Structure 1
Amino acid sequence: MKDVGIREFKDHASSYLSGGEALVVRKHGKVIRFYLPVKGRRSGEEELRSALREVSESLEELKRDTGLSGEELVRELAGGEEAGREDG
């Protein structure tokens, strides 16, 4: 999984999006987005199942690479610690 800054991603977005490589996008060193491409051109339910498998594999890779637990990773993907708080 390639790690890129937001400016780099913006400047070369079309190349990254067509390249098919999973990306971690950072802004000021903080992870703000993950890009997980779907490989192949299937239709319907087969495409959905394939995409879900790829996302699952990518999440497992992220857990290994970052050392985060599943819960910590979900919190990061949801926007950090603030995502766990309720307003009001």
Structure 2
Amino acid sequence: METKVGVKEFRAHLPSYLESVSPIAITRHGETIGYYIPARQGRNQAELDALKQAAAKLEAMMSDLGASEDDIVADFKARRATDKQ
């Protein structure tokens, strides 16, 4: 069964629809005007494993430095403010 969504809903929720693995019929006033057909079938296991490894490395680096997520966000904001000047 295909998913049908209106143009406004499709635009409003575009990021989640782009992650979809099944085709979506896009409608206007109840009539299908087009289809979104995903080009890839979601993330494969190798991509997920690589992402998990990267996250583990980042956590280890943060732990070694004694840095928290809040510290990194604060540093990022400070750097961003400096770059704008």
TM score, norm. by length of structure 1: 0.42
- With normalisation by structure 2, the TM-score equals 0.43
- Structure with greater Cα Rg: 2
